[in-house]
Amino acid sequence: MQLLDAPLAIVDLETTGANAAWDRITEVAVIEVESGEITGEWSTLVNPGTTIPPAIQALTGITNDMVAGAPSFGELAAGLHERLAGRVVVAHNARFDYGFLRQEFERAGIRYAARTLCTVKLSRRLYPGHARHNLDSLIARHGLQCRARHRALGDADAVCQFLRIAAAEHGAEALAVAAQQVAKQPSLPAHIDRAAIDALPESPGVYMFYGEGGAALYVGKSVNIRTRVLAHFADDLRSAREMQLAREVRHIDWQCTAGELGALLREAELVKELTPVFNRRLRRASDLCGFVQDGVSLRLAHADEIDADAVPHVHGVFRTRRAALAALRALADEYRLCLQTLGFERTHARRGPCFRHQIGRCAGVCAGRESVEMHHARLAAALGRLKTVAWPYRGPVGVVENDRGREATDVHVVHNWCYLGTARSDSELAEILEGGARPRFDLDQYKILARHMAHGGVRVMELAA
């Protein structure tokens, strides 16, 4: 069962839930393997310091009473770290187990990094003709003997049996090649320390790439910072621009958020603040503009007129004048509007039918074929499709970022579609609400917030200004 040059630690964990950021380990098992032979087995219950949900108790059979007298992970950390040192961590869905180990070691003040081998991925590579590769499927398919399903040592032993059977069926050399392909690490730029990658969290947030001299190169966001950053350094980068970015990175920084909304808002904010050279979207739009209808006239409002209070009266907010006029022309074609009458097309010295009327794209208000009132009734209908969403609350609100109904960790304070900041405590919330100057309207934040707040699953609470 010679998989890799390094010895193996076949690991399985039981936990209070699926999220390593706040769930905790309740049981850990390690089977040590060297040169294809088992050299040690070890397992223990772990006191998670929190209650185990009833559904998890029913699944694993591990109850709150069972872990009450067990050691905490902090008490086990030093010994477990020594046991795992120098070993490739093998686990079924290694991302799950490794993520929990890294989080728990970090809480104990220990930095932990290891190479991993995921037997889910290994099974997919070795047995591509099968549709399912979860542990239950492997047990049934290969006739594995599991001492106790959903208990750490029982599941770890089943994984160990799978490796033995795979080696027997495919040969040790083929298994080693497949394992090395599955466990392959991304190639990193020469100036990036592996420790910087190992420190990346597997949680939502934003990440920043910096180049020589601290120049901001790129700001990105993800629900899993580590996975997304590693993707930037994959061997199959798709474009010259992506390869150039990977070559120029010298330093990586990140900020964690409670979830996707916080990551989106922070990304939009940082891109405008840092103006990274590889971000083309979300830059500050100094040419921001939109249409305002005053009675029967229409005009283009520019950035200095578009603030939070004016937004409800603006039809469409665009990054550039060119984009705004292109949208107007598309509506004019669809609704047979006269751009000459609206003042967006030059008139001849002797006023008469516009060119668009001559080619059948204007209904003819400029030629007396219809009244101005009829024309502007169609204009109102057309502009209604561009109208921004009115702020639906009396004052500022807090958009609560939670996950699976847990206690909120972040409250995003918003007023008139302007993102004012994120609070993680009552004092931070009060500070944001008492702040003086309000930020200008930001098109990107408006789109992010309007999309998320229109979704029924978002919890919004009104705040006293």
The secondary structure of 153-188, three-state, reads: HHHHHHHHHHHHHHHHHHCHHHHHHHHHHHCCCCCC
**Structure tokens given for 406:** 């847990």
pLDDT of residue 184: 65
Give residue 137's pLDDT: 94
pLDDT tier at 286 (50, 70, 90 boundaries)?
A: low
Interatomic CA distance for residues 237 and 239, integer angstroms? 6
List CB contacts of 396: < 8 A, sequence separation 6 or more. 413, 414, 415, 420, 433, 462, 463, 465
Across 33-37, 46-50, 185-189, 285-289, which has the greatest mean pLDDT?
46-50
The predicted-structure confidence for 132-162, as pLDDT tens digits, reads as follows 999 999 999 999 999 899 999 999 999 999 9
Least confident of 25-29, 169-173, 298-302, 401-405: 401-405
Q: Tell me the pLDDT tens digit for each residue of 83-130.
A: 999 899 999 988 889 989 988 998 999 988 888 899 999 999 999 999
Q: At 135, list the tokens.
A: 């542990």
To 10 degrees, the CA torsion angle through 281, 282, 288, 289?
70
Annotated catalytic residue 170:
no
Say if CB 189 and CB 233 are below 8 A apart.
yes
Q: Which residue has the higher pLDDT, 3 or 457?
A: 457
**pLDDT of res. 211:** 92
Lowest-pLDDT choice from 77-81, 286-290, 411-415, 442-446? 286-290
Sorted by sequence, the CB contacts under 8 Å of residue 365 that are 6+ apart come out as 338, 341, 371, 372, 374, 375
Determine if residue 282 is left, alpha or beta; phi over 0 gives left, psi from -120 to 50 gives alpha, anything else beta.
left
The fold for domain 8-182 equals Nucleotidyltransferase; domain 5 (3.30.420)
Mean per-residue pLDDT over the chain, rounded: 86
Distance CA 2, CA 6 (A): 9
Task: Give the residue with greater pLDDT, 285 vs 75.
Answer: 75
* pLDDT(235) > 70: no
pLDDT of residue 1: 45
Question: At residue 449, does pLDDT exceed 60?
Answer: yes
29/41 Cα distance (integer angstroms): 8
Q: What is the pTM assigned to this prediction?
A: 0.59
pLDDT of residue 241: 82
pLDDT score at 238: 54
Name residues whose C-beta falls within 8 Å of residue 258's C-beta, 6 or more positions apart in sequence.
204, 401, 402, 403, 408, 409, 410
Of the candidates 269, 268, 278, the one whose C-alpha atom is nearest the C-alpha of residue 215 is 278
User: 142: exposed, middle or buried (C-beta count within 10 Å: 0-12, 13-18, 19+)?
Assistant: middle
**Number of helices followed by number of strands (H, E) in the chain:** 18, 15
pLDDT reported for residue 187:
62
**Interatomic CA distance for residues 202 and 79, integer angstroms:** 24
Q: What is the pLDDT of residue 143?
A: 94
Of the candidates 444, 449, 454, the residue with the CA atom closest to the CA atom of residue 318: 444
Task: Please provide the CATH number assigned to the domain covering 194-274.
Answer: 3.40.1440.10
How far apart CA 442 and CA 384 sit, in angstroms, is: 21
Question: Considering only 38-47, 301-310, 312-321, 386-395, which range has the smallest mean pLDDT?
Answer: 301-310
The domains of the chain are located at 8-182, 194-274, 289-384, 397-462
Name the least confident of 298-302, 311-315, 355-359, 413-417: 311-315
Q: Which is more confident, 457 or 403?
A: 457
221 with 282: CB under 8 angstroms?
A: no
Residue 430 has pLDDT above 50, yes or no: yes
For tokens 């990036």, what's the residue?
A: 192
- Strands 216-222 and 410-415 turn out to be unpaired
- Please write the tens of the pLDDT for every residue from 364-416: 998 899 998 899 889 988 988 887 777 888 889 999 887 543 454 789 999 88
pLDDT on residue 24? 95
Kindly name the residue from 150, 375, 415, 452 that is annotated as catalytic.
150
